[in-house]
Each structure stands twice: as C-alpha cells, then as structure tokens.
Amino acid sequence: MINAIVTAGNDVTNLDEWQQRSNPWTVTLSYEGRDMTVPFWTGSGWTTEPDAHDVMQCLCSDAVSVDNCADFEQWACELGFDTDSRKAERVYRQCVMQRDALRTFLESEYDAFVYADDDALEMLMNFDDTVSDLRQRFADEIAPLVVEQYGEDDVPAMDEAFNNWTDALCKAGEIPELVYERVTRED
C-alpha cells in the first residue's frame, strides 16, 4: 500500500502564474520502506487535501508522457508545447526527474503502477484492502463449491481453486497482474 503524508505549502521558488494562484502541497509517498517527496499543486477550485491516489495519478501520467516520447521535441509536440519555449523545456526536465525518481521509488513494479488503468492503480495502492476483499469474495462465492466437492479439510483443493480463480480474474482484467502475483488465500 502506498501511503502519503501531505503538508500544506512547499519550498518551490520561481513559481509560474498558475502556481501562484494554486494551492501548494508537499507530499511524501511511502511504499515498501522507500519514500519519495514531491511538490504538488491543486487548482484554486480544488478544496480538499490531495491523497496518495491523486498524487500517484499525476506522477504516473507525467511518467507515461516522458516514457512515450524519444526526446523533448517529441514530448512538446505531443502535449502542445512550443518546442522553442524555455518554460516547456523546464517542465519536460522536471517530468524526466520525477519519472526517474518514481522509477527508483517503485523499483521493479514501476510498469505495473505507471501503466495501470485507474481501477488497477486504486487496487495496487490499496493492496491490503484489495487482498481482504478478494479473500472474502472467494470465501463467499467459490469456497462453498470446493467444500461441497472435496470436503472442508482439503487444503490443496482450496488453494488450487483460489489460484485458478485469481488467475481467471487476472486474465479477465479484473485484477492487475501484480495483485495476482502477490495474493494468497491465507496470510
């Protein structure tokens, strides 16, 4: 699970016009014993504190924009920036630095998080809740069928049924592959 500590304000200087009118935040994300701190802004119409999901959505979107372009010129063209703009180049460099920091933060799970759709990202970010929900759903829907066929004491049958069921969920796109790889029937 990715957690966030959010504090109002940040120490970024040389703010552009939009940032000057926006709400500044400093967000420290924590995952698997690693931390990543980023400045984050919300527009004047956003009245609530951002959470880990909000920040990760933005970081992932920025990372994908950099990953999918060969260089600044392509990135600028794809996003509608002027390739002669120094401001656009500063934004690009910031996106590259944040992408690199995100890659370090997520390590081997970078692709699983960054290229996840919004529902999958939510599942990954709330892994413990996702696992709890899956286990309960299995207990309600699948386990009774296994007990009926093999009896209550057939642990291998129950484990095999859980693995087959989560495999089917993964193949159907209901759970991300990273959740499938990590989830077990019991702790």
- SS3 label, residue 41: strand
Give me the phi and psi of 39, to 5 degrees please. -75, 145
Of 74, 91, 118, which closes a domain? 118
Q: pLDDT digit string (tens) for 65-83?
A: 999 999 999 999 999 999 9
Number of domains present in the structure of the chain:
2
- pLDDT of 187: 66
Q: What is the mean pLDDT of residues 151-166?
A: 93
Same domain, residue pair 51 and 140: no
- For residue 47, what are the domain limits? 3-118
Q: What is the secondary structure of 61-91 as a DSSP string?
A: HHHHHHHT-SSHHHHHHHHT--TT-HHHHHH
Q: What is the mean pLDDT of residues 33-47?
A: 90
User: Per the domain annotation, does 166 fall within a domain?
Assistant: yes
- pLDDT of 123: 85
User: Per the domain annotation, does 85 fall within a domain?
Assistant: yes
Same domain, residue pair 144 and 100: no
More confident residue, 126 or 159: 159
Same domain, residue pair 9 and 101: yes
Q: What is the pTM of this model?
A: 0.77
Nearest to 61 by CA among 79, 45, 39: 79
